[in-house]
Amino acid sequence: MDYGYLGEKPKSKKKKIREIIFFIIEIILVITAAYCIIAFGVERTTMIGESMEPTLSDQNKIIINKMAYRFAGPKRFDVIVFKPEGKEHSYYNIKRVIGLPGETIQIQNGSVYIDDKLLEEKFEMPGIVNEGLAVEAVTLDEDEYFVLGDNRNNSEDSRFANIGNVTRKEIAGKAWIRISPFNFVNLLGEKREE
């Protein structure tokens, strides 16, 4: 009996069909996993503008963790990525969470107050020149967040009507990783203990 070139037995037709079916199933699983990661896990975006400097610069590539807020809301000082609903030409915005649901925010004399208490920043921030809507007390609904850019005097954020308070459903996820130069976004700009 001739077993071919390497002395192997020829594969049976059933075995070949089974291998092809398993190969097709593996391809389907890989495509499904890739789709789930992109649709529900992570996404890449680009920082547009200078509103988050010095933490993030214009054209920085950012990885969004879309799973970060599936079971719990953003925390104060998280950098979030959101897209305001119902806005023409809307693109992803990247800002820092300052006010949480139910809180009252007001900006006075260049400083942020939450529920009438001065906010102790974790980051070096300049005094705010334009208080915008927050010159008057702004009380957040149970699904709203007040966001500011780190470049406080060159940022379009919750102080202005075209952004306003950000609702939970507008949030795409947490700005997680800056690709180049590589770093975790929430570690950037944080005050260091001397």
Whether 51 is catalytic is: yes
Residue 47: closest CA among 26, 61, 33, 36: 61
CB atoms closer than 10 angstroms to residue 91:
10
Strands 183-184 and 171-178: antiparallel
Check 11, 16, 87, 95 and give the catalytic one: 95
Whether 180 is catalytic is: no
105 backbone dihedrals φ, ψ, rounded to 5°: -110, 140
Residue 85 · residue 169 · CB < 8 Å? yes
**Alpha-carbon dihedral sign for residues 66, 91, 124, 182:** positive
Residue 91 · residue 66 · CB < 8 Å? no
Q: Which residues are catalytic?
A: 51, 95
